[in-house]
Amino acid sequence: MTGSLTMNFHIHSVSNQLTKIICFFLSALLIHSSTAESSEFERMYPKKVWQSKKPSEADLNSEKIDTIARLLGGRGCIIRRGFVVKSWGSLSQKGDWMSSSKPVFSTLLFFAIQEGKLKSVHTPIKQFSWDLCRKDETMTFHHLANMISGYARPEKPGAAWAYNDYAINLYRLTLFDRLFQETPAAVANDLQRLGSLQFEDGLSFSKKARVVASVRDFARLCWFWLNKGKWGQKQLLSQDFFDTYCKSHVPKKLPHTDKAKTDDYLEIGSYGGGSDHFTKYGPGIYGYNFWFNDTGRDHPNHVTWPDAPCDAFMTIGAGGNSAAIIPSLDMVIVAAKAKWGGPKAGDSTSIMNRVMKIAAKAVLDGQAINKRSYTITGETKKWHPITLDFRGPYTSETADWTLLVMRENSRWSTKD
């Protein structure tokens, strides 16, 4: 639940103390979006191997963490504050992460910009010697990374949404063959890029440049994303890229592509699926190959995962190869060949929603709520305009709010 609400409260014939209490209650609703800067706990980064902790040692409810593992199945792990707090199945077995590989493309795109190899995400790909048709001449990396390129579809770039694996293949070929002019493995494993993450089992790529990695190594990628490009004491990729691009970039009202045959006029083939497949969801919740927890074109009254922290985002791959990244909980949940299910945006019964709901409930330290205190000052007035900004990890659609304000021999309690 996001957005702002301005309300006028009638405060008449009450003490200044009660006015402060009411204002305190309103301010207490401003749950901030917890990040590394607000955490009391030092984040750890794995070196050659992950360190482990029991869930209870990371302020987690062990039974709820076990429930997540049983619900997902497959093979997976849960990272909290940089420690493995739960694992199941083989952590070392490598596999194809399918479309969860796509955020790696965008990560490497940002490295290219940081290194001066590319001016911006809005650089037209025509500059890389593609013989594009007239309709597609304005196509940019931004269009390709957000499934709005129109390649092989009837619309112009930016005019319609289509989950388009022909366009993703064009993204892949432009990025590696024509921009970096190196293999995906060489680009990614460069020590100035993702090679610094010290993958335990090795990061490799399939012929179509899909990531082939173990669960514990894909968790390193997720931990890198959660920490906005930081690894250990080094900011490998500028945080600005995450602040700018780690959010939805597909307009909420963007229409779906028209029904039409795939026109792969460049004859590049597909990354795996069709030019309009997998899901209608995307507008309002998709950006640079990640999925975000927000309202969308087809679910305007509900966020993607109604009971998940608002800052949660995911990589979603076919065959149950997906990961949930939840900065406010200092947590990533990674599982391969698992029962994640599809996006089902706005559906509280979806496995994705249920997993993140349980994860939020497993957090015992209340780190996203008990970080700040607010002091309200000012004179008593009959009307007090208050602006509320409902944001933060615990502002789910079904969240309950409880506030206790204590004074000598007095207690007020409010629940909404």
Higher pLDDT, 112 or 365: 112
Rounded to 10 degrees, the C-alpha dihedral 212/216/219/224 comes to: -90
Is residue 365 pLDDT above 80, yes or no?
A: no
| Sole residue written with tokens 């007090």 | 384
Torsion sign across C-alpha atoms 313, 224, 361, 74: positive
Phi first, then psi, for residue 390 (nearest 5°) are -85, 95
Domain ranges in the chain are 4-32+382-415, 41-362
- Express each pLDDT in 16-46 by its tens digit: 444 344 444 443 343 333 333 344 567 899 9
pLDDT in tens, 370-408: 343 344 445 555 555 555 544 444 445 555 443 333 333
pLDDT at 369: 38
Q: What's the pLDDT score for residue 77?
A: 99
Residue-wise DSSP of 16-59? HHHHHHHHHHHHHT------GGG-SSPPP--SSS--B--GGGGT
Which of the two residues, 75 and 15, has the higher pLDDT score? Answer: 75
Tokens linked to 305: 């995962």
Q: What is the mean pLDDT of residues 299-307?
A: 96
Whether the pLDDT of residue 367 is over 60: the answer is no
Per-residue pLDDT band for 291 (boundaries 50, 70, 90) equals very high
| Beta carbons within 10 angstroms of residue 413's beta carbon | 9
Whole-structure pTM over 0.85, yes or no?
A: no
CA distance 248 to 294: 8
- Four-point Cα dihedral 354, 53, 292, 245, nearest 10: 180
- In degrees, to the nearest 5, what angle opens at C-alpha 152 toward C-alphas 121 and 278? 85
| pLDDT tens-digit series, residues 197-210 | 999 999 999 999 99
Q: Kindly write down the DSSP assignment for every residue of 104-167, as one continuous string.
A: HHHHHHHHHHHTTS-S-TT-BGGGGT----GGGTT-BHHHHHTT---TTSSSPTTS-B---HHH
Architecture label for domain 41-362: 3-Layer(aba) Sandwich (3.40)
Is the C-alpha dihedral spanning 93, 94, 100, 104 positive or negative? positive
- Length reported for the chain: 416
In tens, the pLDDT along 307-339 reads 999 999 999 999 999 999 999 999 999 999 999
What region does 76 belong to: left with phi over 0, alpha with psi -120 to 50, or beta?
beta
Q: Summarize the confidence of residues 135-153 as an average pLDDT.
A: 99
pLDDT score recorded for residue 401: 43
Q: What is the mean pLDDT of the chain?
A: 85
pLDDT of residue 182: 98
Please give the Cα distance from 210 to 191 (Å, whole number): 20
**Residue 190 pLDDT more than 90?**
yes
The pLDDT confidence band at residue 70, using thresholds 50, 70 and 90, is very high
What proportion of the chain, given as a percentage, has pLDDT over 70? Answer: 77
